[in-house]
Amino acid sequence: MKNKIIFATGNKGKVKEIQEILKDLNYEVLTMKEAGIEIAIEENGKTYEENALIKARSVAQHTDAIVMADDSGLEVDAMDKSPGVLSARFMGEDTSYRIKNAEIIRRLEGKEGDERSARFVCAIAAVFPDKSEVTTRATIEGLIGYEEQGENGFGYDPIFYVPEFGKTTAQLSPEEKNQVSHRGKALRLMKEELMKYESNHCK
């Protein structure tokens, strides 16, 4: 029988990403809904790690399975690293990313080259059945573009230009983005933590 991991999100895309990364291990990855856990969680932490832990701990209260959660955001250096942990709420949760992206481009008017530096950050938290906890974090560095480019991805991807590729993350295929993204890298670090937990507990 497969062991279960519940990913504390309603986002099927995130669950798919982690399924792909963990596919060579014996785990079934479920959303909260699929696991029959429907609770509202307030993300009021000050750091990505705090928010990821808040989500994972809330769900872990309802299950003995492994629970994972992530929190991510965009840090624009010229904007004092905002919107940061408030990325989803920047200018209002329901405001379109066309408008949010245009506002970030506007705030960077007159800035060139490295003055446009930014990064995506992702932290992932896991709560294991013995209630031990671990977090991982990864980033991808880039520059804020001068206009939106690309149709893939979501959120701030169309304005996040990665010089190594000469493309925005919205111009990468999902597979290419997973290889280099903050979330893909943090998930692969979490896979290592999962393997360590397994080797310590499943003898």
Catalytic residue set: 71
Give the one residue of 59, 71, 159, 184 binding ligand IMP; rule: CB under 6 A: 71
CB 171 to ligand IMP: min, Å:
12
Q: Which residues are registered as beta bridge partners of 68?
A: 7, 126
Cα torsion 66, 195, 16, 88 to 10°: value is 70
Distances from the Cα of 157 to the Cα of 66, 98, 189, angstroms: 30, 11, 22
What are the strands, taking DSSP E only, across the chain?
Answer: 3-7, 27-31, 66-76, 82-83, 117-127, 133-144, 160-162, 167-168
136 contributes a contact to ligand IMP by CB under 6 A: no
Residue 187 dihedral angles phi and psi, to the nearest 5°: -65, -40
CB 28 to ligand IMP: min, Å:
22
145 contributes a contact to ligand IMP by CB under 6 A: no
CB 103 to ligand IMP: min, Å:
13
Beta strands 160-162 and 27-31: pairing type?
unpaired
154 contributes a contact to ligand IMP by CB under 6 A: yes
> Taking contact as CB under 6 A, which single stretch among the options 18-26, 66-74, 141-149, 186-194 is the one that binds ligand IMP?
66-74
87 contributes a contact to ligand IMP by CB under 6 A: yes
Residue whose C-beta lies closest to ligand IMP: 155
CB 14 to ligand IMP: min, Å:
8
Beta strands 3-7 and 66-76: pairing type?
parallel
Instruction: Give the nearer residue to ligand IMP in terms of CB position, either 27 or 156.
Output: 156
Contact call for residues 90 and 100 (beta carbons, < 8 A): yes
179 contributes a contact to ligand IMP by CB under 6 A: no
> Given the rule CB under 6 A, which residues bind ligand IMP?
70-74, 87-88, 120, 153-157, 169, 181
